[in-house]
Amino acid sequence: MTGFLIPTMERRPDRNATPTANPTPADVVILVPMYRESLETCERSATGMLRLDYPRDRITVLWLIPEGDTRSETPARTAFAALAEAGFDPRSRVRPVPDMRPKGRALNHALDGLGAHDIVLFLDADVMPGPTQLTDVVREFAQGADIVEAFEFQESRTWVGRTIAAENATHLASMIFLQRRLGTAFLQGSSVYVSTTFLAKTGGFIEDEAEECFVWSMFASRHDPDVRFLANFSYGAPIDELTTALRQRVRWLRGQLAALKHLPSPRLTPAGRIALGITGASIVAQLAVPPALLLARRGSRTRRLALGVLGLEAARIARTAVSPEWRHLGIRDGWCTLLVFEVLQGAAGWRAVLELATDNRVWHSVRDSGHD
């Protein structure tokens, strides 16, 4: 996700929250779409579930696979065997659903019956929550949260991984700004926890090429949810190669651009419409910088404007980098390389524009998953 040029704010505790040291365990259901994931990815996801420090009998794990697709079913069922006898809620299973693409449709198939649980976690297949994450999240819900997003920060030994961590931090800080100023939260979607009571008010996900959690959270804002954010390490598959990272961002940019068609939707509040417009303007600015730098004459007004935009973005990054809350993440040189990465992302983003214009729904795989 991009937050290019969008101002940032720091997280702060809810002053009205009542501290809850040991909240009563809630029933949590974890939904993980497993569309043609490799056995390695499925086993990594299972390992993540086994590392959670939360009571297993209060966790229901549902892995969603497309009906009749052996490429999805075989690795999922093989890896899920490690969970079957591990003490999780007996409702845990690999669940075939009629259709898995887009992801919003897969999630919608599983929404019926979730009212028997207290909290639902929408989790990407390649994301492993930190061992204490569920415990931390349940504490937030005990203090009144409706939605909690856990931003994932991979531990990485490469500059690309640290740059991605810096990007995640600045994006989170920008989303906090939009939430505070406009009352609208835009969620990234890899680890989103929602109260089932609140989910019943909002309805399901959109079923188009737009980022499903991004648009869902935008529509959900009309119900004035209490949204909290957690930032901790995850233990999934880190993305440490530049080309892989750029492919992933082409997919994300395409989803964010597709979300702009929902601007006229009556499900949007006026503030939500403004916030979505801001994110659209952010993307346009990021896309415009690379051609302005490459094609405009040296010293021209266009090039000076592009350099001015990069100066503003550098200030935004620096403001986030000096915040104490990110120092424990070990981002270090990632702050210094983020601006260059964002320029490269803007150049690669023109592919997202082309794919959206030609209705080319290619899946840009970021791991050895077997996706078509």
224 and 284 assigned to the same domain: no
Contact 205, 108 (CB under 8 A): yes
What pLDDT was estimated at residue 368? 47
- Whether 277 and 236 map to the same domain: the answer is no
**167-187 pLDDT tens trace:** 988 988 898 899 889 888 778
The single-letter DSSP state of residue 17 is P
What pLDDT sits at residue 370?
42
88, 184: one domain: yes
What's the Cα-to-Cα distance from 63 to each of 11, 147, 281, 338, rounded to whole Å? Answer: 32, 21, 37, 35
Q: What is the pLDDT of residues 100-155, one digit of tens each?
A: 877 788 888 888 888 889 999 999 888 888 899 999 999 999 999 999 988 777 66
CATH number at residue 112: 3.90.550.10
Residue 179: its pLDDT value, please? 86
Strand ranges inside 268-337, DSSP E: none
Non-local (6+) Cβ contacts of 283 within 8 A are 2, 4, 253, 256, 257, 349
Please compute, for residue 77, the number of CA atoms within 13 A of its CA located in the half-sphere on the CB side.
Answer: 10
Task: Identify whether 12 is part of a domain.
Answer: no
| pLDDT at res. 130 | 86
Question: CA–CA separation, 331 vs 355, rounded Å?
Answer: 32
Same domain assignment for residues 185 and 62: yes
- At 15 the pLDDT is 44
Helix 301-321 vs helix 159-182: crossing angle, to nearest 10 = 90
Same domain, 225 and 280: no
- The average confidence (pLDDT) of the chain is 86
Domain carrying residue 315? 270-358
Q: pTM for this one? A: 0.87
The total number of structural domains that make up the chain = 2
| Domain match, 229 and 128 both | yes
Residue 178 domain-assigned? yes
Q: Which residue has the higher pLDDT, 9 or 212?
A: 9
Does 139 lie in the same domain as 89?
Answer: yes
Nearest to 34 by CA among 147, 116, 119, 127: 127
Answer yes or no: do 230 and 278 share one domain: no
231 and 191 housed in the same domain: yes
Taking CB atoms within 8 Å and a gap of at least 24, the contacts of 36-39 are 36/69, 36/71, 36/72, 36/369, 36/370, 36/371, 36/372, 37/72, 37/75, 37/76, 37/125, 37/126, 37/369, 37/370, 38/75, 38/367, 38/368, 38/369, 38/370, 39/75, 39/78, 39/79
